[in-house]
Amino acid sequence: MGCAISGLSETADLGEKSNYHAGGGGEGGHLSQDQIDMIKESWKVIKDNITKVGIIVFVRLFETHPECKDVFFLFRDVKDLERLRTSRELRAHGLRVMSFIEKSVARLDQPERLEVLAVELGKSHYHYNAPPKYYSYVEAEFLNAVQPILKDRWTAELEEAWKTMFQYMTRLMKQGYEDEDRQNQATISPKERGDKRNAAL
């Protein structure tokens, strides 16, 4: 949900090692090579509809979780969600998020680089005041948006592969968010500290 996705650093203090292993079994955050291949193949189709998917994801996100609009200054007071479908700002933000997903898919065979990408994004979300509870909302709307595009390519196995990838990315983003939170605790007031903690609940 951050707005600096395309400019993410490729370096980060990764802290804990990730639970991601290419060629693993597909359970507990592990993606098998078959799952990686399925995701990459499906992305080729999704990519042709990248703008449409980005818009659908955020319009639906604001419909199902209107509180998410509070994170976005530009959309906070928009009541007519249909108007958002033609918003240049929403289109641009949707593309940034889809760009992050594209970068993630491209790094599925490079778990170290993928980990850096997700942790850095989590850190940037701390500064947008976009807490981890929102990340799974985006996952759900993305999966809903791509099913009609993939049509008969969408299977239970493909859905499981995408969910596994998102769960892994969400865990790392949460780690980055919490790392940044800890680093900033000493420099912010007690009131700001309480506000951020309450938002993350």
C-alpha–C-alpha distance, residues 15 and 122, integer Å:
13
Residues with Cβ within 8 Å of 190's Cβ and at least 6 positions away in sequence, in order, are none
Residues with Cβ within 8 Å of 101's Cβ and at least 6 positions away in sequence, in order, are 142
| Closest-CA residue to 177 (of 133, 139, 112) | 133
Q: What angle do CA 183, 172, 196 make, to 5 degrees?
A: 45
C-alpha–C-alpha distance, residues 182 and 196, integer Å:
11
Give residue 70's pLDDT.
Answer: 77
Span between the terminal Cα atoms of the chain, in Å: 17
Task: Give the DSSP H/E element, type plus range, for residue 136.
Answer: helix 135-150
The model's pTM: 0.75
Give residue 23's pLDDT.
Answer: 40
Lookup: tokens for 101: 């997903």
**CB distance 8 to 124 below 8 Å:** yes
In the structure, what pLDDT confidence band is assigned to residue 197 with cuts at 50, 70 and 90? Answer: low
**CB distance 161 to 31 below 8 Å:** yes
C-alpha–C-alpha distance, residues 128 and 93, integer Å:
13
Give residue 13's pLDDT.
Answer: 34
In the structure, what pLDDT confidence band is assigned to residue 89 with cuts at 50, 70 and 90? Answer: confident
CATH of span 30-200: 1.10.490.10
- Give the model confidence (pLDDT) of 128-177 as tens digits: 888 888 888 999 999 999 999 999 999 999 999 999 999 999 999 999 99
**CB distance 141 to 197 below 8 Å:** no
**CB distance 19 to 113 below 8 Å:** no
| All structural domains of the chain with their residue ranges | 30-200
Give residue 83's pLDDT.
Answer: 79
C-alpha–C-alpha distance, residues 158 and 184, integer Å:
39
As a whole number, mean pLDDT of residues 180-190 equals: 77
C-alpha–C-alpha distance, residues 64 and 180, integer Å:
28
C-alpha–C-alpha distance, residues 179 and 171, integer Å:
12
C-alpha–C-alpha distance, residues 48 and 149, integer Å:
10
- Give the model confidence (pLDDT) of 12-57 as tens digits: 333 333 344 444 443 445 799 999 999 999 999 999 999 999 999 9
